[in-house]
């Protein structure tokens, strides 16, 4: 198994880097943009070109594996091995010239994330997480920084496209806005998880946002020494169709969970 994991890491890193460099090279140029759903979510030709690069590399070495990709959907063989691919997380940012986007690739064995790769081509930062083996950024060990005592919270907020203006979500978000120093919503979830794994945020609150961009970030935070729990305070593992999650440094668990649960009581 470990030999295969090493091969998976190599393929994922090569694929993410190639796709990210393509996106960066096309960032300031002209590219086609389409709306792909009634919520205003976008897809660009760069999404599709980057996805094609990634899928070609995975299929060349793992033709027997299943793949779920943001634009193509399901392909390959259903079984124990699954790849989740988001070739351009942050498409809406990309389309309006905001340089906040990344590539996310996750490899699963029996629905358990084993390898996560995120490439931030704007900053040329390649993040790698392997279950039980830690996390790195550009090959250097990545460990979450301890939070500073007494500091007001700086949080990341992530919500699924399907949530839109759901009243419960908006009330929770409003409570966080009132409680925290600031709440960031950058529409590129993988970058939020990278910030959390570095310790640049005090916490992340995710409201019903399952997708191909999710699990690489969760694994990165966990392997960097962070905590991922649900709104009831239970550890998160595996996959979930409707996740409601909190990510933070272990020392911030009780404080942040109390803030979220207080906000939910008001919804």
Which pair of structure tokens corresponds to residue 209? 């946002």
Candidates 4, 20, 126; CA nearest to 65 is 4
Residue 148 located in a structural domain? no
> How many separate domains does the chain show?
2
- Confidence (pTM): 0.95
pLDDT in tens, 53-110: 999 999 999 999 999 998 888 988 889 999 999 999 999 999 999 999 999 999 999 9
Give SS3 for 61. helix
Same domain, 132 and 185: no
Letter string b/e over residues 34-49, b meaning 16 or more CB atoms within 10 A of that residue's CB: eeeeeeeebbbebbeb
The reported pLDDT for the residue numbered 105 is: 98
Same domain, 136 and 13: yes
Task: Please say whether the beta carbons of 200 and 182 come within 8 A.
Answer: no
Which pair of structure tokens corresponds to residue 104? 């996310």
Same domain, 108 and 160: no
Give CA 85 to chain center in angstroms.
11
Task: Tell how many helices (H) and how many strands (E) occur in the chain.
Answer: 7, 15
Same domain, 22 and 115: yes
Residue 87 located in a structural domain? yes
Same domain, 9 and 133: yes
Which pair of structure tokens corresponds to residue 76? 């390959």
Same domain, 117 and 158: no
Same domain, 164 and 248: yes
Which pair of structure tokens corresponds to residue 229? 């729990």
Same domain, 88 and 174: no
Which pair of structure tokens corresponds to residue 155? 């949080």
Residue 147 located in a structural domain? no
CATH at 168: 3.40.190.80
Same domain, 131 and 166: no
Of 104, 120, 141, the last residue of a domain is 141
Residue 52 located in a structural domain? yes
pLDDT at residue 114 tops 80? yes
Same domain, 179 and 101: no
Rounded to whole angstroms, the Cα distance separating 259 from 178 reads: 11
Residue 32 host element (H or E):
none
What's the mean pLDDT in 229-239? 96
Residue 125 host element (H or E):
strand 125-130
Task: Please say whether the beta carbons of 128 and 38 come within 8 A.
Answer: no
pLDDT in tens, 181-233: 999 999 999 999 999 999 999 999 999 999 899 999 999 999 999 999 999 99
pLDDT at residue 37 tops 70? no
Give CA 58 to chain center in angstroms.
19
The reported pLDDT for the residue numbered 44 is: 84
47 is in an annotated binding site: no
Of 114, 141, 168, the last residue of a domain is 141
Same domain, 29 and 96: yes
223 is in an annotated binding site: no
DSSP 235: B
Domain that holds residue 61: 2-141
pLDDT at residue 42 tops 80? no
Residue 146 located in a structural domain? no
Strand order in the sheet with 182-184: 182-184, 154-159, 203-207, 244-248, 227-230
213 is in an annotated binding site: yes
CATH at 48: 3.30.540.10
37 is in an annotated binding site: no
SS3 per residue for 215-238: HHHHHHHHHCCCEEEECCCCECCC
Same domain, 132 and 161: no
Of 88, 106, 141, the last residue of a domain is 141
41 is in an annotated binding site: no
């Amino acid at each position: 198994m470990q030999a295969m994991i090493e091969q998976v890491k190599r393929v994922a890193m090569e694929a993410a880097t190639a796709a990210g460099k393509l996106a960066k090279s096309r960032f300031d140029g002209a590219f086609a943009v389409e709306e792909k759903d009634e919520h205003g979510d976008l897809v660009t030709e760069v999404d599709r070109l980057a996805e094609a690069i990634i899928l070609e590399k995975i299929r060349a070495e793992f033709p027997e594996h299943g793949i779920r990709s943001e634009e193509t959907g399901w392909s390959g063989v259903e079984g124990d091995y699954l790849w989740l691919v988001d070739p351009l997380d942050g498409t809406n940012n990309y389309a309006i010239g905001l340089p906040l986007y990344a590539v996310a690739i996750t490899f699963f064995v029996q629905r358990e994330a084993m390898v996560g790769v995120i490439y931030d081509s704007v900053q040329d930062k390649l993040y790698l997480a392997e279950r039980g083996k830690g996390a790195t950024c550009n090959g250097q060990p990545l460990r979450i920084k301890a939070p500073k005592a007494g500091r007001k919270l700086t949080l990341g907020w992530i919500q699924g496209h399907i949530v839109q203006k759901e009243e419960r979500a908006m009330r929770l978000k409003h409570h966080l806005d009132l409680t925290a120093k600031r709440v960031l919503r950058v529409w590129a979830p993988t970058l939020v998880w990278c910030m959390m794994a570095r310790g640049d945020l005090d916490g992340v609150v995710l409201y019903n946002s399952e997708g191909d961009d999710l699990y690489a970030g969760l694994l990165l935070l966990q392997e960097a020494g962070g905590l991922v729990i649900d709104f009831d305070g239970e550890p998160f593992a595996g996959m979930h169709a409707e996740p409601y999650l909190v990510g933070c440094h272990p020392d911030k668990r009780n404080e942040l969970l109390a803030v979220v649960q207080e906000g939910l009581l008001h919804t």
